[in-house]
Amino acid sequence: MVYYIFEKYIAEGNNMLITDKEQLKNFYADQRLWQGIPCIERTKKGRIYVAFFSGKIKEEPGNYTCLIKSDDDGKTFSEPVTVAYDGEDARCFDPTLWTDPYGRLWLTWNTFPEVLAYAAICNDPDAEDLVWSEPFVVGKGILAHKPTILSSGEWLFPVAVWDLKYKDKIYANNYKDKRAFAYSSADGGKTFIKLGGVSVRDRVFDEHLFIEHDNGDIDVFVRTTYGIGKSTSYDRCLSWTDGCDSGLHGPSSRFFMERLKNGKILFINHYDFKGRNNLTAMLSEDDGKTFPYRLLLDERDEVSYPDAVQSEDGSIYVVYDRERGSYKYNFASNRKAAKELLLAKITEEDIIAGKIVSENSFLKRIVNKLGVYKGKDKNPYGDYIMYSTEEYVETLMPLSPKKALEKILNDYSSCYGMLSPEENSKTDKLFDDLATADADEKRKLLTELVTLFRQKTGYDKKNDNRTINDILTYLNEHITENISVYELAEKFYMSFYYMCHLFKRYTNTTVTQYVCTRRIAVAKKMLENGSSVTEACYDSGFSDASYFTKTFKKLEGITPRKYINEYVRDQKAEKETKK
């Protein structure tokens, strides 16, 4: 087994860490649209730290990691005291917090597109003003869980190279060995040794962690599409057994597992779940073979990504997120999300009892909840309804006529049900004219279109579904007749362009493609019943024999004549078999 030693690589000239109080205001809660993927640590003096990441409207370039603190046992938390940020073209994401045996606080985060796990160390995490080391690289990949301290004293860091396909050249060229690795440090984090890695079936984002047993064997648990995978190393992580299903089910989300100070194993995951709900703390007294004790932490939907730490007195602090607010398509849907980070404080007695029995325990305490957004970008989602007509038109100007048409139809489709037949005809002409318009004329046409649409409100989109069903019924009843798409739109009192847009949105195909597919189905039946190719062509609705043959071969993979021969041959073979 070959392993590699990494000297601590200092990111000189690119600190990434922001601690200036004025600069930190750019990352305050009222500047964030979403937040999630939290982690937690607690100092010996009782200060609680929580880290998470945010930035832009989803997990994308521009992400940053925030660190907040509490000096009153989690009753209140500060605004960010430290932020890891690498600019608009990079990501700082998936943080981890860890207090090492020397009492130093480690803040780790991952970067993209370079895909490196960075860390910075604070020697005095109880100080009023935190002083951090220069960021340094722990390993090549993604670190998403606390390190494990082995019985031998080594620190084991879980660093994974995701088994995902990225177009990014750096990732493709430098990360061909995609496994969940173990990195070891035996000198207090001065150097890191890359040991063996495991590739569990259907692993996804990995988020792996290690559990060491009394006999020295080490298990690794890995997130998978079916729950949690498992592998074992008998040689201190140099090699691993073939991965298998651990039997610990889950909805493909990050979980937490760690050996407590008394040797029992704490496991936090979703139990008896439907999606990411029923976040539950579980306890094992038989080295992880079974987890008979359970305490429901939060039954609600979209609660996920737990992390935990045990204090000196045995209390267990658990942090997780709820309805992050990312990947929303407009302000309206973003505002509906809870966008919460939550905290639970529990004990082993609580877990064994299955309910809160300890005096100072609590559940569902809010660490941070995002309220009214006051960021510099007043329209981060590009909501069309928030633009003035002039501003909206300017967003369309760089687009091709086809793309501009698609955007307008998507944004203003609810207006079409309110257009008169004359207005439908007018919009079709304006769209036609866009194809050949110069810049000035294009702006004028778009302004006229948008102005018209903005005057129309009150259409119930449920009508669209009924309209498409009516169109499909009509097409099926008249499939062999001459069908003009323009006449079809006119028959249903619709704009030609909008009808085509609506049909494609609901059926995932065009009117012409749908008609051709249905006509070929009719033609096949006719050929099977003895019709000639010519008869099948014209009687199914096609007006050109060459186009019929071309379409038939495209959809069926063979020509009509060959279809007849194969069908007749198959029928004869079937009759012979029956004899």
Q: Kindly report the CATH class assigned to 1-140.
A: mainly beta
- Residue 172 pLDDT grade (very low, low, confident, very high; cuts 50, 70, 90): low
What is the largest distance, in Å, between two alpha-carbon atoms of the chain? 93
Quick: pLDDT tens for 179-205: 999 999 999 999 999 999 999 999 999
What residue segments make up the domains of the chain, in order of their start?
A: 1-140, 145-247, 384-508, 512-578
Mean pLDDT value across the chain: 92
Q: Which position has the higher pLDDT, 498 or 462? A: 498
Mean pLDDT of 396-416: 84
Closest CA to 161 of 147, 173, 146, 149: 173
Q: 290: which residues sit within 8 A by CB, 6+ positions away?
A: 284
Q: Which position has the higher pLDDT, 420 or 479? A: 479
φ, ψ of residue 409 to 5 degrees: the values are -65, -35
Q: Which position has the higher pLDDT, 575 or 208? A: 208
Q: Which position has the higher pLDDT, 170 or 111? A: 111
Q: Highest mean pLDDT: which of 68-82, 402-416, 528-542?
A: 68-82
Helix axis angle, 401-411 to 421-434, nearest 10°: 150
CB atoms within 10 A of CB 331: 18
Helices marked H in 309-372 — which ranges? 331-336, 348-353
361: enclosing H helix or E strand: none
Assign 434 to helix, strand or coil. Answer: helix
Task: Please tell me the distance from the alpha carbon of residue 404 to that of residue 390, in angstroms, as a whole number.
Answer: 15
Beta bridge partners of 230: 221, 244
Task: Please tell me the distance from the alpha carbon of residue 299 to that of residue 292, in angstroms, as a whole number.
Answer: 19
Predicted structure pTM score: 0.77
Q: How many residues in total does the chain contain?
A: 579
Mean pLDDT of 36-63: 97
In DSSP notation, 452-497 reads HHHT-----THHHHHHHHHHHHHHHHTTTS---HHHHHHHTT--HH
Task: Please tell me the distance from the alpha carbon of residue 292 to that of residue 121, in angstroms, as a whole number.
Answer: 38
Assign 518 to helix, strand or coil. Answer: helix
Residue linked to tokens 């259907």? 202
Which CATH number fits the domain 512-578, given the four candidates 3.40.640.10, 2.60.40.10, 1.10.10.60, 3.10.350.10? 1.10.10.60
pLDDT score of 417: 65
Mean pLDDT of 133-142: 96
- Do the domains 1-140 and 512-578 sit in the same CATH topology, yes or no? no
Q: 152: which 2 tokens?
A: 């031998």
Closest CA to 191 of 158, 155, 220: 155
Mean pLDDT of 291-307: 98
Task: Please tell me the distance from the alpha carbon of residue 513 to that of residue 93, in angstroms, as a whole number.
Answer: 44
Preceding amide of 80 cis, omega within 30: no
